[in-house]
A and B are shown apart, each in its own frame.
Chain A
Amino acid sequence: MNKKYMYSLLAVIVLILLPYVGVEAAGLQVLFGIIIPYLAVLIFIIGFIYRVMDWASSPVPFRIPTTCGQQKSLPWIKQNKIDNPFTTGAVIIRMALEILFFRSLFRNTSIGLNQGPKISYVWEKWLWIVALAFHYSFLTVLIRHLRFFLEPVPVWLQWLEKIDGFFQIGLPGLYMSGAVLLAAVTFLVLRRIYLPQVRYISLAADFLPLFLIISIAITGILMRYFTKVDVVGIKELAMGLASFHPAIPDGIGALFYIHLFLVSILFIYFPFSKLMHMPGVFMSPTRNLPNNTRAKMHINPWNYPVKVHTYDEYEDEFREKMKEAGLPLEKE
């Protein structure tokens, strides 16, 4: 067994047991239903803003975009405006493609070493597809949960739910997003465990959010399709939290508190972890700047004078030799 994912697995098991025992044995509904969720949201918001401000407090001294296409130069040479943007508008398109469609990951290849030797490069699409599936299904699930905090449920949300439940399988109707999320996150875990190189670079901290999300998805799916929890009671709790008049309704099972607690942990964990790649991708200087430094001077706020070897010092040292070689001199 690999120690790295065992640590995370154990941590998640403990995190599941805590609210179970807390609610079932100690009656700590207020702690797990009100205090921790509030605390989690607070830590998430403050932590998130703090981290982003912290990044922003470091300047961008040099404009170093990674250019992935032809630069803007001469009229007869066709520029790749997206992968080598010259204007802010083009940068916005580059960033949008990066953030919405994971454009760089789309390029992913995998190498093979064949007889000869001949190296082959094959388009590796699976990580890109699953990453897209994972992030978009997660987003859909998150948005769907707004139903618990809004009364009446807005029309657009009802539309989203209709689309998500398009296939009308089972009762209550299966949401695609939940199933896709669980499948995608499982793929990501298996990839980390079974691909030798990915396993090698993985930290315990890389498994924790995956196990957390799996547990969150499973408890959610259990509640919706199998144990059929008291949805009215849960909505009452959610509305109470959202309107700052929190109250604990009766009859909500421990499963819900486990679900809520794991979500709270994910929120708390977020600002301290690699999950901050979410805001980070917006701020990455190799992607979010135009490649126009040669046309437009970029200012380094901490630029300072340095000691250089001046021409005069150079001529002083080599004057005789320069004279012999017939080179023009400043001072004879």
Chain B
Amino acid sequence: MSSTIEFTINGKDITGRPGQTVLEAAQDAGVYIPRLCYMRGLAAFGACRVCTVLVNGRPQAACTQTVAPGMVVENNTEKMTAFRRNLIDMLFVEGNHFCMFCEKSGNCELQALAYRFGIAAPKYPYMFQPREVDMSHGDVFIDRNRCVLCGRCVRASRDVDGKHVFDFVGRGLHKRIAVNAEALLGDTELAVTDKAAEACPVGAIVKKRVGYAVPVGQRLYDHKPIGSEIESTAL
């Protein structure tokens, strides 16, 4: 088997490795494919669908699709960007996201994606669903109002920390994050040093007492849009 695989994204030649996903091969080549549930080092999940690209004309999640020779990938087309914006909108109206009160603001991937896509306000009506907050743990809290069900905490705890502190319960709109205890995070083995405690892309699983250690204005996405760190490496 050849050690490199040649394909294109929006006409640009990309070289990937066998077994690599479209998303990672693109990233290595300095092409940013927007994503939310993806996290380097965790198993691909394919849930948020933000990274959906057209592969030879068919929609595929770039985080789960492996590269193949000659593959024609469409990423930032007008059509795909519109679909992605709709997904971001959906996540905003599904949960209760109040950026101005959220300690994650500026470091939040959902917020950063919204800014990158130029979303000032979602076009869908808010659902205002009641969601549970769990402050029972000494060092970490869960605010399910902000959860986007990306499963990063589930995978991090199960596959990296070896604990399985989190998993999903319910289905459809009733799906939510549950903990490995009768009800409370405080009754689980979660430690503040766990990968799961820092895997959340939004403000749903947050470490206590450090929320404002970095002031607003100096945060990850305060000056440059999300993805620019990848695009700046492009040749």
A binds B: no
List residues of chain B with CB under 8 Å of any chain A CB. Answer: none
